[in-house]
Amino acid sequence: AYNFSPGPAALPEAVLRQAQADMLEWGDAGASIVEMSHRGPEFLQVARQAEADLRTLLAIPDDYAVLFPAGGATTQQALIALNFAGAGQRVDYVVSGHWGKTALKQLVSVDVNIAASGDSDGFRTIPARETWRLSKEAAYVHITANETIHGVEFRPGWGRVPPDTGDVPLFADFSSSIASEPVDVSKYGLIYAGAQKNLGPVGISVVIVRRDLLERAGQPRADIFDYRSQLANESMLNTPPTWNWYLLGQTVRWMIEQGGTAEFDRRSALKSKLLYEAIDGSGGFYRNEVDPSVRSRMNVPFFLAEAALDAAFLEGAREAGLIGLKGHRVLGGMRASIYNAMPVEGVQALVDYMQEFRRHHG
C-alpha cells in the first residue's frame, strides 16, 4: 500500500529490505546489528557514518555539531531551553500551529514571549515577519519550519525564509520537513528534528547546533540532559537506541543515492502541486484552507464538503491501497503526508482515487 501516515511514516522499501537482512546478521559478525555493543567497532562505524552522511546530505558546516539524542522532538523542545537560556531569561516563540504550542508547554523557568501566533485565524497563515514582536535580549527565537498537523510551512511566498532575527539565533523545529529541500544551515543557530518522518524510525532525534552556542551556561540540569556532555561522548552518554540510529543512517544514505536534497526539492514540488491542484480543482468537493503562500509540501490536510462521507472515503482509500489518510483529531478531515519516501506514483494514485470518489459521490 501507499502509506500517507504522518509519522511514524513510510520508509524507503530498499532501506527496509536491507534492514531485514541486517536484523538477522550484520555482515559476517555472527550477530544482528541490534545485538551488538554500542561501543564496539561495528556500531561505532555505523554511528559515525550516519553523521558523515547527514553532514553531506544537509551540507552542515564544520562549525556546527551534530547530536543524535534518544527520544523525540518534544524532548528537544524541553532541552533547548535548559541548554541555551539562563533561568528567567527571555525566549521568543513564533507559534504557527499545534507543534509550536507543544514547544511552549515544555518551557519552565524561562521568560516566554510569544512574538507572533497564527492562532487567531486557525493557523491558516503564518504572521508576516513585520508583525513579530521580537525581544533584543532573547536567548533565541523559535519557529516550527513545517507544522505537521495544520499543514503550514515557511515557504518563499511568505517572505524571506528563514526569517531574519538579527543577532538572536534562530532555532527551528524541522521534524517534518528536514531534507525535503536544500537548507542553509548557517542561517540557523540550531535545527532539531524527530527522525520518524523524513529521517527514519521513531526513537531518535537529530540536533544540529552552532558550536559556539554550546558554550552558554544554560540552566542547572542533569548531565544526561546536557548537550555538551552528549557531544563530548558522541551522543553515547548512556546506551543509545542503536537500531533506530542504524535505520536513520540507512535512510540518509538512501536520500544521498537518490540525488540528495535538490532531488527531493524537485519531487516535493511535483507531489504537492499534484495534490493541491486536485483539491483546488474539485469544485469545492475537497478543500484545503491554508493560505497558498504557506501551504506545506509535506503534510496536506484536506476536508470533504460533507463530513458524513469521511468514513466512506477512508474505507475506499484502504481498498485502493492508500492508507494513513485520516486527519489528526485536532483538525479532523483528512491529511496526506507525503515525505521523501513517498513516490510520485503514490500521490498520483491518491489523486486518481480522489477524482474517482468525487465522481461517485459529488
Q: Does 72 bind ligand PLP (CB under 6 A)?
A: yes
Residues 3, 83, 176, 268: which binds ligand PLP (CB under 6 A)? Answer: 176
Cβ 206 to ligand PLP shortest distance, Å: 11
Residues 26, 93, 99, 303: which binds ligand PLP (CB under 6 A)? Answer: 99
Q: Does 135 bind ligand PLP (CB under 6 A)?
A: no
Cβ proximity to ligand PLP: between 193 and 322 the closer is: 193
Cβ proximity to ligand PLP: between 77 and 282 the closer is: 77
- Phi and psi (nearest 5°) for 153? -140, 145
Locate 46 and state its grid cell.
555505523
User: Among all residues, whose Cβ is closest to ligand PLP?
Assistant: 72
Give yes or no: 26 in active site.
no
User: Which position among 99, 158, 243, 245 bears the catalytic label?
Assistant: 99
* Cα-Cα end-to-end distance for the chain: 26
Q: Does 163 bind ligand PLP (CB under 6 A)?
A: no
Query: 311: annotated binding-site residue?
Result: no
Give yes or no: 99 in active site.
yes
Which amino acid, 2?
Answer: Y
Q: Note whether 172 and 188 are within 8 A (CB).
A: yes
Cβ 337 to ligand PLP shortest distance, Å: 10
Cβ 9 to ligand PLP shortest distance, Å: 9
Query: 121: annotated binding-site residue?
Result: no
Locate 226 and state its grid cell.
546536557
User: Which position among 26, 53, 92, 197 bears the catalytic label?
Assistant: 197
Which positions from 102 through 131 interact with ligand PLP, judged by CB under 6 A? none
Best CA proximity match to 216, nearest among 59, 110, 72, 322: 110
Q: Does 288 bind ligand PLP (CB under 6 A)?
A: no
Cβ 330 to ligand PLP shortest distance, Å: 11
CA–CA distance from 123 to each of 6, 103, 242, 294, 336 (Å)? 18, 15, 37, 10, 18
Q: Does 272 bind ligand PLP (CB under 6 A)?
A: no
Cβ 295 to ligand PLP shortest distance, Å: 16
Q: Does 337 bind ligand PLP (CB under 6 A)?
A: no
137: left (phi over 0), alpha (psi -120 to 50) or beta: alpha
Residues 73, 115, 143, 209: which binds ligand PLP (CB under 6 A)? Answer: 73
Residue 176: helix, strand or coil by DSSP?
Answer: coil
Cβ proximity to ligand PLP: between 92 and 173 the closer is: 173
User: Which position among 92, 173, 243, 271 bears the catalytic label?
Assistant: 173
> How would you label 167-201 residue by residue, b for 16+ Cβ within 10 Å and e otherwise?
ebbbbbbbbbbbbbbebebebbbbbbbbbbbbbbb
- Phi and psi (nearest 5°) for 31? -150, 160
C-alpha span between 187 and 169 (Å, rounded):
8
Q: Is 307 exposed, middle or buried, given 0-12, 13-18 or 19+ CB atoms closer than 10 A? A: exposed
Give yes or no: 245 in active site.
no
Binding stretches for ligand PLP (CB under 6 A):
7, 72-74, 99, 144, 148, 173, 175-176, 194
User: What are the binding residues?
Assistant: 39, 73-74, 99, 148, 173, 196, 238-239
Q: Which residues are catalytic?
A: 99, 173, 197
